[in-house]
Structure 1
Amino acid sequence: MVESLSIAFVHPNLGIGGAERLVVDTALSMQQRGHRVVIYTMHHDISHCFEETRDGTLDVRVASTWLVPQSINGRFHILCTTLRSLALARKVTTDREQYDVLFVDQLSAPIPLLKYAHAHILFYCHFPDYLQAQRDTTWRKLYRAPFDLIEEFSTGEADEIVVNSRFTQETFRKAFPHIGSVPKVLMPALNLQAYDKPVDTDDPALGVLQTEKRIVLSINRFERKKGIELAIDAFAALQTTNVCLVIAGGWDVQVTENIEHLKVLNKHARDLSLRTRTVAPRGTSAQAKTLLPSDVVSTPTLVEDVGDTMAEVDVLFLPSFSENQRAFLLSVARCVVYTPSNEHLGIVPLEAMYMRIPVVAVNSGGPRETILHGKTGYLCDPFKNDFAAAINKILNADDNTWTSMGNAGRERVKLEFSLNSYGDKLERLIGEMLKHPSSGSLVFGVLMSLFIFCTAGLAFALAYWL
């Protein structure tokens, strides 16, 4: 048991994705154990975040990053994010509060500057960013080169590095050969109590989801790398009737890829002769609705406004869904499909298994460490016919078989991925880390910070000039 500590979490964007759920649950776990917790972030939209970050449960502080946009004409995301991360680090180091531990995740660029907080730094690596970046042109390769160096050397400045799966551990070792130590594995957990909350059935936003059809559910951000086309292709290949595919995911009006990829997916479904509908998030402005596909309908303000809206729908797109909508879908879905290949871990399969829903996922990456093939779901090659066959098995399974798979999934999550077990492991890691003096040099931190600032600043100027 570690004595009471002051812990600051440094996270880029407090949206509603899996990484955000992890940092929120980690902060809650540490807070419940008597530690003082603060979350620092670059962006926090109270209409698009988890409840604990807006209702006062967690102390959230937002850095002033208005000088740097999130992108330049939808491009140069890593450049802008790197510059904004320096403002985030400055917010932490000038807040006049002393922290024992800084839990930094996703983005390592601010670590050298965070040395000035005089705290031990634990970096949680979800997956090396440079492996996810496109390098299909000489310009892209040149543009990414300095940021790849920044990522490796700033990551190496952390006092402790942990990763979310054995798959990520092996990938990290190959990706960062200059970092001598092998990171420890700390697999994410679920805050099970949050999933045990009853669904608010009076919520009018559920009206658009009411149907007599069996639901196949996909939850992922609207990004190309998530492979959501596979879910649509597999659904189109199903030999089962009276089924609807619901594609729910993170969608932000400020993220060009979200906007464009949702439209691509919608068109892809229509090209397969599937009937589609897109539900506009509650509170979406008239201008923002123009960014959605043409089949958009508004979330009703009254339950009575909705009839059997899904009767003539094959694929329902649900961008920027609410927590209550997520809870409802996880309570009624017959099957969850998880389509990213080489995903570092994946929180969605854990959520589905805990809610007793069998999962069909790609047989690579983190899902191989969470899903028990044939017992809690199926692991398949990323081909539509393979996925369709596995989905058919689940949809056509008798009640006893389906229930048995669901129960096995729930027990697995309770045993291996509970927040209590995760908190115990994290406290032990922190305790071991605090036994040693903080590594890294402040002088090197200065040089790294100057390098990051100058490199990003030059690229920023060139981006505007070009």
Structure 2
Amino acid sequence: MTRITFLHPDLGIGGAERLVVDAALALKKNGHDVNFVTTHHDPDHCFSETRDGTIPVTVVGTWLPRHILGRFYAFCAYLRMIYAASYIIFCDRRPEVVFCDLVSVCIPVLRLRIPYVVFYCHHPDQLLSQPGGYSKQLYRMPLNYLEEITTGMAHKVFVNSIYTGSVFRSTFKRLHIEPEVLYPSINTDFFDKTRIVSMDRVLDKKLPNDSIVLLSINRYERKKMLSLAIEALAELEKLLTKEIYKRVYLIIAGGYDKRIEENVEYHLELIGLADELYVTDKVIFLRSPSDIDKVSILHHCKIVIYTPPNEHFGIVPLEAMYVGKPVIAHKSGGPMESIVSGETGFLVDLSAEAFASKISFLITNPDRIEDFGRSGKDRFLKTFSFVAFSVQLNKAIDDLITKKTK
């Protein structure tokens, strides 16, 4: 049994968090002793496995600032992760392996006393930073350099898709390493064992029995382009009969953290957009739904709409495919590897018209919804199953330890 610590900056309910929680579950099921160290964990805004004791969580460095006067978020994140790494290397039960992600600057600290350090690159952090003026460029320059150099210090590097692997190589030109693609999966045991609750209970309102529910699941962030789902809903009125359109509803569900200004602002912007497009009565917003509620609405919906462009991978299409729902997504990034257009869903241009056209096609051809759903589940089981994810991850960890001990 190997003691493995997962180091993650903010253990919330995003795709990155789902990945590391699933990785911890996969290693735990194989007999390893796993735990989390994080700099933030809110029991009301996290995955159940980190709240119910399934995976022990230690929170450190909460006294360190998240920003300085509304700025320097990246610098503060680096500082907090260095502090958390320092805690790990001096703790009583020091792990043999640390699996970290998102922030690589902690790796040289970990290597002082940790035999094996694994880094999972969801996407280079420097590419997620908003562009700015000359002063912002000067500020980011040393951070970007540190990210590249410290990423290369990990004993093993994973990326979440072939797409991210190509971005990794083009961004970190100083590094001469070939990251291994480890596709994320989902905890299918949870999906299988979850008791599905009624839509009325999830939404706290009753929809007509013949409703056609479209579902968008993503964090309340502008880069996720949730506005596109609302615009596509409005565009549908031109493509469907009045009787059918009357039955269509859109649920926008996703991570929402009141500490994050963008989440609050964007939620209000989306409410305003729905009002502007006269679809307020057709759009239902869910903020940070529970895991049970999310699985339930996935089961009850007809079609999943996935709007982010250039998504690094995207866990939502996998969740949709597992429960047998077609996915309509932008033809870029990770969804081009998970979705087979015309078989498990559609890959379309980044426009409301393009999304609406395919939504309309599926609504007016309900047999295709069933066909796509079956094909999607088959593809998930063959390529993205939790078993395949677990086998690859456990083998990589075992190979890393065996190779270094020889």
Residue 9 (structure 2) aligned to one of 3, 9, 12:
12
Q: Is the 8 A contact 1:123 1:162 kept in 2?
A: yes
Structure 1: distance between partners of 2:28 and 2:119? 19
TM-score normalised by structure 1 residue count: 0.82
Alpha-carbon distance change, 355 to 6 in structure 1, aligned in 2, over 3 angstroms:
same
Name 1:39's counterpart in structure 2: 36
1:229 aligns with 2:221: no
Q: Secondary structure of the residue that 1:385 maps to in structure 2?
A: helix
Residue 42 of structure 1: CA displacement?
1.0
Structure 2: distance between partners of 1:100 and 1:415? 32
Alpha-carbon distance change, 168 to 117 in structure 1, aligned in 2, over 3 angstroms:
same
* Matching of residues 437-448 of structure 1 within 5 Å: 437=404
Residue 55 (structure 1) aligned to one of 52, 55, 60:
52
1:271 aligns with 2:268: no
1:351 aligns with 2:303: no
Alpha-carbon distance change, 89 to 205 in structure 1, aligned in 2, over 3 angstroms:
farther
* Matching of residues 257-406 of structure 1 within 5 Å: 257-275=262-280, 313-398=281-366, 400-406=367-373
Q: Is the 8 A contact 1:344 1:365 kept in 2?
A: yes
1:275-294 Cα distance to aligned partner (Å, 9 max, x none):
1xxxxxxxxxxxxxxxxxxx
Q: Secondary structure of the residue that 1:43 maps to in structure 2?
A: coil
Structure 2: give runs of 5+ residues left out of the alignment: none
1:25 alignment partner AA: D
Q: Secondary structure of the residue that 1:13 maps to in structure 2?
A: coil
Bigger shift: residues 80-89 or 201-210: 201-210
Residue 432 of structure 1: CA displacement?
2.5
Residue 373 of structure 1: CA displacement?
0.6
Alpha-carbon distance change, 53 to 394 in structure 1, aligned in 2, over 3 angstroms:
same
Q: Is the 8 A contact 1:18 1:346 kept in 2?
A: yes
Name 1:168's counterpart in structure 2: 164
1:215 alignment partner AA: V
Residue 200 of structure 1: CA displacement?
5.1
2:345 alignment partner AA: G
Structure 1: distance between partners of 2:113 and 2:234? 54
Structure 2: distance between partners of 1:29 and 1:79? 32
Q: Secondary structure of the residue that 2:380 maps to in structure 1?
A: helix
1:350-376 Cα distance to aligned partner (Å, 9 max, x none):
001111110000000000000011111
Structure 2: distance between partners of 1:246 and 1:204? 13
Residue 73 of structure 1: CA displacement?
4.3
1:10-47 Cα distance to aligned partner (Å, 9 max, x none):
11111111111111111111111111111111111111
Q: Secondary structure of the residue that 1:196 maps to in structure 2?
A: helix
Query: Per chain length, whose mean CA-contact separation is higher, i.e. which structure has more relative contact order (CA < 8 Å, sep 6+)?
Result: 1
1:323-379 Cα distance to aligned partner (Å, 9 max, x none):
122112101111111111111100000001111110000000000000011111000
Q: Is the 8 A contact 1:122 1:158 kept in 2?
A: yes
Residue 209 of structure 1: CA displacement?
5.2
Q: Is the 8 A contact 2:217 2:252 kept in 1?
A: yes
Residue 49 of structure 1: CA displacement?
0.9
Name 1:462's counterpart in structure 2: none
Q: Is the 8 A contact 1:7 1:102 kept in 2?
A: yes
Name 1:421's counterpart in structure 2: 388
Q: Is the 8 A contact 2:309 2:350 kept in 1?
A: yes
Q: Is the 8 A contact 1:92 1:117 kept in 2?
A: no
Residue 246 (structure 1) aligned to one of 248, 251, 267:
251
Q: Secondary structure of the residue that 1:215 maps to in structure 2?
A: strand
Name 2:105's counterpart in structure 1: 109
Cα RMSD after superposing both structures: 1.7
Between the two proteins, what is the percent identity of the paired residues?
40
Q: Is the 8 A contact 1:234 1:387 kept in 2?
A: yes
* Matching of residues 88-127 of structure 1 within 5 Å: 88-127=84-123
Bigger shift: residues 143-152 or 425-434: 425-434
TM-score normalised by structure 2 residue count: 0.94
1:410 aligns with 2:406: no
Q: Secondary structure of the residue that 2:92 maps to in structure 1?
A: coil
Residue 117 of structure 1: CA displacement?
3.0
Structure 2: distance between partners of 1:104 and 1:202? 38
Structure 2: distance between partners of 1:148 and 1:195? 39
1:250-286 Cα distance to aligned partner (Å, 9 max, x none):
11111111111111222122222221xxxxxxxxxxx
Q: Is the 8 A contact 2:197 2:293 kept in 1?
A: no
Name 1:432's counterpart in structure 2: 399
Name 2:83's counterpart in structure 1: 87
Structure 1: distance between partners of 2:357 and 2:164? 29
Q: Is the 8 A contact 1:41 1:61 kept in 2?
A: yes
Structure 1: give runs of 5+ residues left out of the alignment: 276-312, 439-466
1:160-215 Cα distance to aligned partner (Å, 9 max, x none):
11101000001100000011112111111111111112435389852425412211
